């Protein structure tokens, strides 16, 4: 069965829990998205920009020294860190801006936490000459001042949000508010496979290029499908992008790695499947970190991109039907993986991606050398080196 269904549901997850004023905009976006999917001209345009602007296909790289070091399965890295702007987020931002152009929209809005999705959106807005406003919590703006400057360099206006914890959740609320007011002129480029229908499906479709490419690349290199797919899960877009083209291949295990932060017992983490419960946040029914009164809990992760209270609804569904498995890596493991991959492969991973590498460090020893694992290296770590230097006590660098 094709999911989501016509109500945007993956089983009991997903849906459209939004104000009436947004319903017609969302219906328009969905209709345009369906038309674009069937339009060879749209696909050709996507393919052109994915190749010449984003730099796809990204390589599937055999991490030989990491593999030898761990003494277990052959580990391949899907190199999304080599995509333009240094992460997978550009795949979705590009797809959505081409859609916005088809709809005749003149203005783009987006939310951002750490700034990665904001930068990807500012990038494509510059490329296509559309006005762009990015909402960002005031605390995040201070933590990620360099990304604020990057967006401004590309002509985007970054609007600080002072409500609540002044981070990602409040930035999404502000972006939604803007959209309700300016819906005729404006398209909202949401940054992950979450929120209201049709975003979880649309973002998945724009990100599934990760899985589709990796599938033909591993067939070419190894002549068979991998035994495991491994990806970090924030909202869930790089992971669903990798997993989706393999969903029917039940011999392929799919493993999502959430942020364990300072440990599950501490309560300071973003592992929605470790103690989270079913609820609705920002348009969507899914697993959330919330208290008994339904108040959203503060989350923590060393990696800002994994630090969000809700998980994309398709992951809740894949977990429920037993098709995908979810685990977590804590801050300490992620930092160790950040250093280990840098030393062994000369690749500095994003702290988000380091959670997927941490899974390999923990689980690969002892697993058969005959297994093949494909890991999503969702982004590069340049954005994180100052923060890691500070944590490692090299404060003079940060
Ligand atoms: C934003 C981000 C993530 C987390 O987002 P998903 O939607 O779960 O993929 C992971 N890795 C990097 C490098 C990011 O920038």
Instruction: Give residue-wise pLDDT tens across range 65-114.
Output: 999 999 999 999 999 999 999 999 999 999 999 999 999 999 999 999 98
End position of a domain, from candidates 203, 231, 264: 203
End position of a domain, from candidates 154, 169, 203: 203
Whether 378 is a known active-site residue: answer yes
Asked if pLDDT for residue 367 goes beyond 80, the answer is yes
* pLDDT at site 195: 96
Indicate whether 2 belongs to any domain.
no
**pLDDT one-digit tens code per residue, 11-44:** 999 999 999 989 999 999 999 999 999 999 999 9
Q: Report how far apart, in Å, the C-alpha atoms of 182 and of each of 19, 104, 170, 187, 359 are.
A: 14, 14, 18, 9, 43
**pLDDT one-digit tens code per residue, 277-319:** 999 999 999 999 999 998 999 899 999 899 999 999 999 999 9
Question: In terms of domains, do 193 and 284 share one?
Answer: no
Beta bridge partners of 324: 254
Indicate whether 1 belongs to any domain.
no
Question: In terms of domains, do 161 and 252 share one?
Answer: no
Question: In terms of domains, do 188 and 222 share one?
Answer: no
Question: In terms of domains, do 263 and 379 share one?
Answer: yes
End-to-end CA distance of the chain: 51
Q: Are strands 60-62 and 74-79 parallel, antiparallel or unpaired?
A: antiparallel
Asked if pLDDT for residue 398 goes beyond 60, the answer is no
Asked if pLDDT for residue 1 goes beyond 70, the answer is no
Asked if pLDDT for residue 396 goes beyond 90, the answer is no
Over residues 263-285, the mean pLDDT reads: 95
Q: Report how far apart, in Å, the C-alpha atoms of 314 and of each of 69, 159, 247 are.
A: 34, 30, 12
Can you tell me the distance from the alpha carbon of 377 to that of 346, in angstroms, rounded to the nearest whole number? 13
Can you tell me the distance from the alpha carbon of 230 to that of 3, in angstroms, rounded to the nearest whole number? 22
Catalytically annotated residue among 74, 78, 89, 169: 89
Over residues 244-254, the mean pLDDT reads: 98
Whether 111 is a known active-site residue: answer yes
Indicate whether 3 belongs to any domain.
no
User: Domain containing 142: what range?
Assistant: 9-50+89-203
Over residues 176-186, the mean pLDDT reads: 94
Can you tell me the distance from the alpha carbon of 316 to that of 3, in angstroms, rounded to the nearest whole number? 13
Asked if pLDDT for residue 342 goes beyond 60, the answer is yes
Catalytically annotated residue among 80, 111, 205, 258: 111
CATH number, domain with residue 175:
3.40.50.1100
Say how many Å lie between the CA of residue 239 and the centre of ligand 1. Answer: 9
Asked if pLDDT for residue 362 goes beyond 80, the answer is yes
* pLDDT at site 397: 64
Average pLDDT, rounded, for the chain: 96
Say how many Å lie between the CA of residue 235 and the centre of ligand 1. Answer: 7
* pLDDT at site 395: 65
Share of the chain above pLDDT 90, in %: 92
Atom number of ligand 1 nearest to Cα 241: 9
Specify the residue for token string 């973003």.
270
Asked if pLDDT for residue 260 goes beyond 60, the answer is yes
Question: In terms of domains, do 110 and 193 share one?
Answer: yes
Q: Report how far apart, in Å, the C-alpha atoms of 227 and of each of 58, 320, 357, 376 are.
A: 21, 21, 16, 14
Which residues 6+ apart lie within 8 Å of 186 measured at CB? 105, 106, 107, 108, 109, 178, 179
DSSP 182: S
Can you tell me the distance from the alpha carbon of 280 to that of 12, in angstroms, rounded to the nearest whole number? 12
Indicate whether 4 belongs to any domain.
no
Asked if pLDDT for residue 372 goes beyond 90, the answer is yes
Closest CA to ligand 1's atom 13: 379
End position of a domain, from candidates 180, 203, 226: 203
Can you tell me the distance from the alpha carbon of 397 to that of 127, in angstroms, rounded to the nearest whole number? 33
pTM: 0.97
The 10 Å Cβ neighbour count of residue 394 is 12
Among the listed residues 104, 110, 138, the one whose alpha carbon sits nearest the alpha carbon of residue 32? 104
Say how many Å lie between the CA of residue 378 and the centre of ligand 1. Answer: 6
Question: In terms of domains, do 328 and 278 share one?
Answer: yes
Can you tell me the distance from the alpha carbon of 115 to that of 148, in angstroms, rounded to the nearest whole number? 7
Say how many Å lie between the CA of residue 305 and the centre of ligand 1. Answer: 5
Burial of 142 (0-12, 13-18, 19+ CB in 10 A): exposed
- Count of domains observed in the chain: 2
Closest CA to ligand 1's atom 10: 352
Q: Write out residues with Cβ below 6 Å of ligand 1.
A: 87, 89, 116, 192, 232-239, 305-306, 350, 352-353, 378-379
Share of the chain above pLDDT 70, in %: 99
């Amino acid at each position: 069965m094709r999911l989501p269904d016509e109500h945007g549901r993956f089983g009991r997850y997903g849906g459209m829990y939004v104000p009436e004023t947004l319903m017609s905009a969302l219906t328009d976006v969905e209709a345009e998205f369906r038309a674009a999917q069937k339009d060879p001209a749209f696909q050709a345009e996507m393919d052109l920009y994915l190749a010449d602007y984003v730099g796809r296909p990204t390589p599937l790289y055999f991490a030989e020294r990491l593999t030898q070091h761990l003494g277990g399965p052959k580990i391949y890295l899907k190199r999304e860190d080599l995509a333009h702007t240094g992460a997978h987020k550009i795949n979705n931002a590009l797809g959505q801006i081409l859609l916005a152009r088809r709809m005749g929209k003149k203005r783009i809005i987006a939310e951002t936490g750490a700034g990665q999705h904001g930068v990807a959106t500012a990038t494509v807005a510059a490329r296509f000459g559309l006005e762009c406003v990015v909402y960002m919590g005031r605390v995040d703006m201070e933590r990620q001042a360099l990304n604020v400057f990057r967006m401004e360099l590309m002509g985007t206006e970054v609007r600080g949000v002072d409500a609540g914890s002044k981070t990602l959740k409040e930035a999404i609320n502000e972006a939604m508010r803007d959209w309700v007011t300016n819906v005729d002129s404006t398209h909202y480029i949401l940054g992950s496979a979450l929120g209201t229908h049709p975003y979880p499906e649309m973002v998945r479709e724009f990100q599934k290029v990760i899985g589709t490419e990796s599938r033909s690349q591993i067939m070419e290199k190894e002549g068979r499908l991998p035994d495991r797919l491994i990806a970090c899960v924030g909202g869930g877009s790089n992971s669903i992008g990798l997993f989706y083209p393999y969903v029917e291949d039940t011999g392929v295990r799919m493993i999502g790695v959430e942020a364990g932060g300072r440990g599950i017992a501490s309560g300071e983490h973003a592992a929605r499947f470790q103690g989270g419960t079913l609820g609705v946040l920002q348009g969507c029914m899914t697993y959330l970190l919330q208290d008994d009164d339904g108040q959203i809990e503060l989350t923590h992760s060393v990696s800002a991109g994994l630090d969000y209270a809700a998980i994309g609804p398709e992951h809740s569904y894949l977990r429920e039907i037993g098709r995908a498995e979810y685990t977590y890596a804590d801050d300490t493991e992620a930092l160790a993986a950040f250093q280990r991959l840098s030393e062994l492969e000369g690749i500095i991973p994003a702290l988000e991606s380091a959670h997927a590498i941490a899974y390999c460090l923990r689980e690969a020893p002892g697993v058969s050398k005959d297994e093949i694992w494909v890991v999503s290296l969702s982004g590069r770590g340049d954005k994180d080196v100052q923060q890691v230097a500070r944590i490692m006590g090299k404060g003079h660098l940060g």
